[in-house]
Amino acid sequence: MPYLPDVDEISRVEAVSEVRSAIANEAETVFTWDYERTRPRLEKLSAKAADAQWKASDLDWSIEVDPFARGNVGQGGMQMQTLIPIEGTILERLDQKQLEELGYEAGVWLLSQFLHGEQGALLCTAQIVETVPWIDAKYYAATQVMDEARHVEVFGRYCQEKLGKIYPVNVHLRNLLSDIAHEPRWDLTYLGMQIMVEGLALAAFGFMQNLAAEPLLKELLRRVIADEARHVAFGVLSLEEVYRDVTAAEKRERQEFAYEAAIRMRDRFLLQEVWEHMGLPVRECVEMTLHSAPQQVFRQMLFSKIVPNLRKLGLLDGWLRERFGELGVLHLENLPDGETEFLSSETSATATATA
């Protein structure tokens, strides 16, 4: 049986009322006066990132979006039965209109958390530009800052203009982003954002794109996914080099950091704020969500982009292997890692273009 957290702890809903929050950070700003490019794989990735830049205005914002049209965010859009079974649960008491409202709220909530996560990525990647000691990594991270700013813009615009609502940041996501942004050691910022958060986002975006029928959202996600694949590859390329030489104590510390991030990311997809908005008992609904077979499959899918990357970095052994075994996700370790998957997608795109 996979390890499940304390339901009372993760069922709490905290209202986020402040417009801004500040995180103290003691990270060093590192200048490097050596401009020789010595990491050709990062140089190649930077060139691809520069060529792949796009603008929010490239999307067709004139498309009218009815959130409750079949296949959109509301009715059938989130396909609630594929995520949370209705039959035999507390959701059976809801009528069709309420189920459609639940689908809409769940969709808005999920896209809102994507939006907040992208702002976290924007700030953490800007921090990486400051702290990473290699010029090749600074060059690439600067392109990612542009990517993340664009992602914040398009998700924010879609939620505001097309859905008419943005949910506050979930407390588990907020705490995770705060911890990553607060971390003064540059490789842990990398690990938390590029491997853990970006890896999970890549899987979640892919899942939502497969469900989406609305053309604007589908194209938005397609473009964001292409960017995110590069971001994860960037993390793998950089940290693979760094973690070859860490001590046993340093390795254990990074394993614990990755595990804590994994737990928090799993807990952020339990729709706590949606259950509260719908007037449903939050604790009961969270427990239902945790134990439902579709949600367990969904959560494992989310980790399909994380577990292989931790293996590639040499972190998936000993203590972390035991913990991930308890989570029931070790069977994912032999899937392609972020670098391999990105190179494979690039090869496929080139073959398609030349066919």
Q: Which residues of the chain have pLDDT under 50?
A: 1-4, 75-78, 351-355
Alpha carbon 90 to chain centroid, angstroms: 29
For residue 75, the model assigns a pLDDT of 45
For residue 306, the model assigns a pLDDT of 92
Answer yes or no: are the C-beta atoms of 214 and 324 closer than 8 Å: no
Domains of the chain, first to last: 47-354 (1.20.1260.10)
Distance CA 188, CA 191 (A): 5
**Residues 196, 197, 202, 208: is their CA dihedral positive or negative?**
positive
Per-residue model confidence as pLDDT tens digits over 214-241: 999 999 999 999 999 999 999 999 999 9
Nearest CA to 71 out of 217, 206, 222 is that of 217
**Residues 126, 128, 134, 137: is their CA dihedral positive or negative?**
negative
Residue corresponding to tokens 């999307």: 59
For residue 96, the model assigns a pLDDT of 85
Distance CA 206, CA 90 (A): 29
Distance CA 118, CA 152 (A): 6
Per-residue model confidence as pLDDT tens digits over 292-333: 777 777 778 888 889 999 999 999 999 999 999 998 899 999
Distance CA 104, CA 343 (A): 36
For residue 3, the model assigns a pLDDT of 46
Answer yes or no: are the C-beta atoms of 208 and 71 closer than 8 Å: no
Q: Which amino acid is at 198?
A: E
Answer yes or no: are the C-beta atoms of 147 and 49 closer than 8 Å: yes
C-alpha distances in Å from residue 287, one per residue of 97, 290, 295: 24, 5, 11
Task: Give residues with Cβ within 8 angstroms of 92, minimum separation 6.
Answer: 86
For residue 77, the model assigns a pLDDT of 39
- Helical H segments across the chain, by residue range: 7-10, 40-51, 80-83, 96-131, 135-157, 171-182, 186-190, 198-211, 215-242, 248-267, 272-277, 282-291, 293-302, 307-312, 318-327, 338-354
Distance CA 27, CA 193 (A): 15
User: What letter would DSSP give residue 354?
Assistant: H
Distance CA 70, CA 108 (A): 15
Task: Give residues with Cβ within 8 angstroms of 246, minimum separation 6.
Answer: 254
Enter the tokens of residue 62. Answer: 């004139």
For residue 97, the model assigns a pLDDT of 87
Enter the tokens of residue 73. Answer: 């965010």
